[in-house]
Structure 1
Amino acid sequence: MGNNQRQHVFIIGSKGLGNYGGYETFVDKLTECHQNNPKIKYHIACKENGSGYMDETKLCDVKQINERQFEYHHADCFKIHIPEKIGAAQAIYYDLAALRWCIAFIKRYHIRHSIIYILACRIGPFMHKYVDQVHKLGGKVFVNPDGHEWMRAKWSKPVRWYWKESEKSMVKRSDLLICDSISIEKYIKKEYGKFNPKTTFIAYGADIKPSILQDGNSKFTGWLNNKELRPRGYYLLVGRFVPENNFETIIREFMKSGSKKDLAIITTKNDAFLNELDKNLKFSKDPRIKFVGTVYDQELLKKIRENAYAYIHGHSVGGTNPSLLEALSSTKLNLLLNVNFNKEVGQDAALYWDKDEGNLSELINNVELMNNNEIEKFGEKAKQRIKDAYSWQLIADKYEEVFGVK
């Protein structure tokens, strides 16, 4: 097929494909599902350097084109170099440089009806200029607004103001907003109704295939032994180590519970936050609380989820959270913070807690009284929920419709 006989989709905002992260997994799965569709050609921006940079040597079946370009899942992947001295502005620079690359490519190859799909709302103040250029070339700009980045506690007030203004500008300028949560879509329509934004809902995905690792696999048993854990003998918490994921409430409540099991916490490194939590909670004196580092091996992580007694999810900001979908697809019992985002996903396949003192510790005590039959039923419901609403193939099919290649 010629350049203008298929739909060219340029994706900006992911650090690459296949790395540990929501957008990186999304782009990997989307291109995988569509790799044999001759009607669509993906062009994916990747970080050449800096945090979370793209290392394509870790992927299978990569075709190297040159130092800054490679092909994977039949997608054209291009690397963007980022000046490392610009600090927090790296993400903004990365998106803008990738956007300029896409526009130059569209011009060079005379591509009509292109779609540029921007993940997250980081470059709002610059959107007007670039959207005009894309429109003049016959293309459209789609945006995934992600969660409420401006609400995250890690940002200072000026940075939060920037994220909110950027979100507003991107909602105003985009041709379509693809929301991965019904709650986010409702928020966009209510908050920015005066712009009459065109929106659609397509969730994030997951799969329900069990881990390829067997129970006795040395990688899994070695990890358990190293962390002094036993199968079904731990609760699991997975997520970025930031305040809005409610680590403090979860640890405090677990310490209050009568559980004899451990709380295994898989998270990113943040020594300042860790020290602050220990100062407030004295969790280091409770041998059940175990920070076990990060796990980037997806099959091992899936095996760890499958063998958890229960998964505890405290995310309070954002849309459809990848770690929640992965937990529902792998862990039988899921204890979720009672907010719209999480209830929308878990429905009756999970149990819920709030931040009131004693609420989560009571739930932990209660689930330990559940029999195997009850636990199995929750596991079946959770997998069915993923199968019905969040399978990657289902998500990919919906994107085909939105991109006009169904």
Structure 2
Amino acid sequence: MQHVFIIGSKGIPGAYGGYETFVDKLTEYHQNNKKLKYHVACKSTENGEFEYHNARCFNVKVPDVGAAQAIYYDIISLKRCCDYIKKNHIEHPIIYILACRIGLFIGHFQKVIHKLGGKVYLNPDGHEFLRAKWSAPVRKYWKISEQLMVKHADLLICDSKNIEKYIQKEYGQYHPKTTFIAYGSETRPSQLADDNKKYQQWLTKMGLTPQNYYLVVGRFVPENNFETMICEFMKSKSKKDFAIITTDNNAFLEKIEQKLHYRSDNRIKFVGTVYDQELLKKIREKAYGYLHGHEVGGTNPSLLEALSSTKLNLLLGVGFNREVGEDVALYWRKDDGNLASLIEKADAMKSEQIASLGIRAKKRIAEAYSWVHIVNMYEQVFLQD
């Protein structure tokens, strides 16, 4: 049996970030696999262990140490993994680290893990050092940390071909061993009927009607280009609404209001967050179109979900998004007026054209990004030695 220790996610079940969903799906689809045993670190306020999807989940108590919390969590998780491997005489374990937070410490841990007969696998995530939310010193730390993580990893599993290219180009001096396994998506439709009470009440509350709104779902941060999307939508002559499902960020919201005065445009609707996954899927399915402005990172979960649910997708034309969307989506640039013009073209598209795009988008996800396909690739990588 191959033991795989996963650290870096907030844990399972119940958290719905990209890494958390990935770990949840990986353990779900492999829960009856006798060749693999997963051990998952879970961030908590108390220590303890429990079973979930046949994985051994171990809570790691993390004190409130501010910005250093995530680094502390990864280090303690790694130490706990090493202690468990040693105590239980586990042969050839794999430690799979999600994200590049602990570069300054990874050299030490790599020696310990190699001594125990194990290997260090790394998912480098996206370009964390480019995110606008970080200050200059923090961005510098992320970059140095990334460099050291790449240097000391035995294998890097990149969830984007563009990230894999970047790793090989940027850190060629270390001759990194890399492979590409994308993030996954569910391909089934929402279980909610069109006349479902929950969905209908949500529409009424938000002042929306099916097939008459564009949608975006994502964290409300600058690098997801909400400002550009709102500005361009306001410039467009579209009669449809723009529904924005996002996290709270009042300071950023006020900044956009002062700049764009979006509140004067009743088409722009901030509709809060939706954590009910079936309802969210239904909202995607019934949108006229989906706007995607993510610019930093690998394969983005919200993009995969949009392509598997919404027929018409308008994506920012950066490498990450084009890699996923290929020819089943429309693309826009950040130039003044470009997206506004594309929205008007999208409004005028014939229903047959939109239906065709939707069918091809679902096919693209089913063939390259379904969870079944993704976890099968992980099984091959984990069992290849």
Instruction: Please give the residue correspondences for 1:135-174 in structure 2 after superposition, counting only pairs within 5 Å.
Output: 135-174=114-153
Match of 2:370 in 1: 391
1:264 match: secondary structure: strand
For residue 359 of structure 1, the aligned residue among 326, 338, 355 is: 338
Runs of 4+ in 1 over 6 A off after TM superposition: none
User: Per-residue displacement from partner, 1:182-205 (whole Å, max 9, x unpaired)?
Assistant: 000000000000000000000000
**Is 1:82–2:62 an aligned residue pair?**
yes
Write the distance in 2 (CA, Å) between the matches of 1:351 and 1:170.
36
For residue 185 of structure 1, the aligned residue among 145, 164, 168 is: 164
Tell me which amino acid in the other structure corresponds to 2:25. Answer: K
Tell me which amino acid in the other structure corresponds to 2:50. Answer: F
Residue 42 of structure 1 contacts residue 75 of structure 1 at CA under 8 Å; is this kept in 2?
Answer: yes
Match of 1:335 in 2: 314
- Displacement of 1:70 after TM fit? 1.2
Write the distance in 2 (CA, Å) between the matches of 1:21 and 1:268.
12
Tell me which amino acid in the other structure corresponds to 1:35. Answer: Q
- Displacement of 1:83 after TM fit? 1.0
Tell me which amino acid in the other structure corresponds to 1:220. Answer: Y
Residue 143 of structure 1 contacts residue 178 of structure 1 at CA under 8 Å; is this kept in 2?
Answer: yes
Write the distance in 2 (CA, Å) between the matches of 1:382 and 1:74.
33
2:120 match: secondary structure: strand
Write the distance in 2 (CA, Å) between the matches of 1:209 and 1:350.
20
Match of 2:200 in 1: 221
40-49 or 378-387: which moved more?
40-49
Residue 102 of structure 2 contacts residue 145 of structure 2 at CA under 8 Å; is this kept in 1?
Answer: yes
Tell me which amino acid in the other structure corresponds to 2:34. Answer: P
Structure 1 alignment gaps of length 5 or more: 1-5, 50-65
Tell me which amino acid in the other structure corresponds to 1:309. Answer: Y
Match of 2:217 in 1: 238
Instruction: Please give the residue correspondences for 1:41-120 in structure 2 after superposition, counting only pairs within 5 Å.
Output: 41-49=37-45, 68-84=48-64, 86-120=65-99
Tell me which amino acid in the other structure corresponds to 1:14. Answer: S
**Is 1:33–2:33 an aligned residue pair?**
no
The aligned length equals 384
Tell me which amino acid in the other structure corresponds to 2:189. Answer: P
Residue 7 of structure 1 contacts residue 405 of structure 1 at CA under 8 Å; is this kept in 2?
Answer: no
Write the distance in 1 (CA, Å) between the matches of 2:49 and 2:263.
47
For residue 303 of structure 1, the aligned residue among 260, 265, 282 is: 282
Structure 2 alignment gaps of length 5 or more: none
User: Per-residue displacement from partner, 1:86-132 (whole Å, max 9, x unpaired)?
Assistant: 21111111111111111111011010100000000000000011111
Quote the RMSD (CA, aligned, Å): 1.1
User: Per-residue displacement from partner, 1:283-321 (whole Å, max 9, x unpaired)?
Assistant: 011111111111111111100000000000000000000
Write the distance in 2 (CA, Å) between the matches of 1:115 and 1:147.
22
- Displacement of 1:260 after TM fit? 1.0
1:112 match: secondary structure: coil
Tell me which amino acid in the other structure corresponds to 2:294. Answer: H
User: Per-residue displacement from partner, 1:182-238 (whole Å, max 9, x unpaired)?
Assistant: 000000000000000000000000121000111111111111111111111110011
Match of 2:5 in 1: 10
- Displacement of 1:17 after TM fit? 2.3
- Displacement of 1:20 after TM fit? 1.6
Residue 47 of structure 2 contacts residue 58 of structure 2 at CA under 8 Å; is this kept in 1?
Answer: no
- Displacement of 1:405 after TM fit? 6.6
2:179 match: secondary structure: strand
Tell me which amino acid in the other structure corresponds to 2:213. Answer: Y
Match of 2:255 in 1: 276
Tell me which amino acid in the other structure corresponds to 2:206. Answer: K
Write the distance in 2 (CA, Å) between the matches of 1:70 and 1:187.
38
Residue 100 of structure 2 contacts residue 145 of structure 2 at CA under 8 Å; is this kept in 1?
Answer: yes
Write the distance in 2 (CA, Å) between the matches of 1:228 and 1:76.
45
Instruction: Please give the residue correspondences for 1:360-375 in structure 2 after superposition, counting only pairs within 5 Å.
Output: 360-375=339-354
- Displacement of 1:371 after TM fit? 1.2
% of aligned pairs identical?
A: 65
- Displacement of 1:279 after TM fit? 0.6
- Displacement of 1:67 after TM fit? 6.4
Match of 2:104 in 1: 125
1:230 match: secondary structure: coil
1:71 match: secondary structure: strand
Q: Give the TM-score, by structure 2 length.
A: 0.98
Tell me which amino acid in the other structure corresponds to 1:104. Answer: D
Residue 47 of structure 2 contacts residue 60 of structure 2 at CA under 8 Å; is this kept in 1?
Answer: no
Residue 311 of structure 2 contacts residue 355 of structure 2 at CA under 8 Å; is this kept in 1?
Answer: yes
Tell me which amino acid in the other structure corresponds to 2:60. Answer: I
Residue 117 of structure 1 contacts residue 143 of structure 1 at CA under 8 Å; is this kept in 2?
Answer: yes
Tell me which amino acid in the other structure corresponds to 1:249. Answer: T
Write the distance in 2 (CA, Å) between the matches of 1:34 and 1:7.
12
Tell me which amino acid in the other structure corresponds to 2:280. Answer: L
Match of 1:53 in 2: none
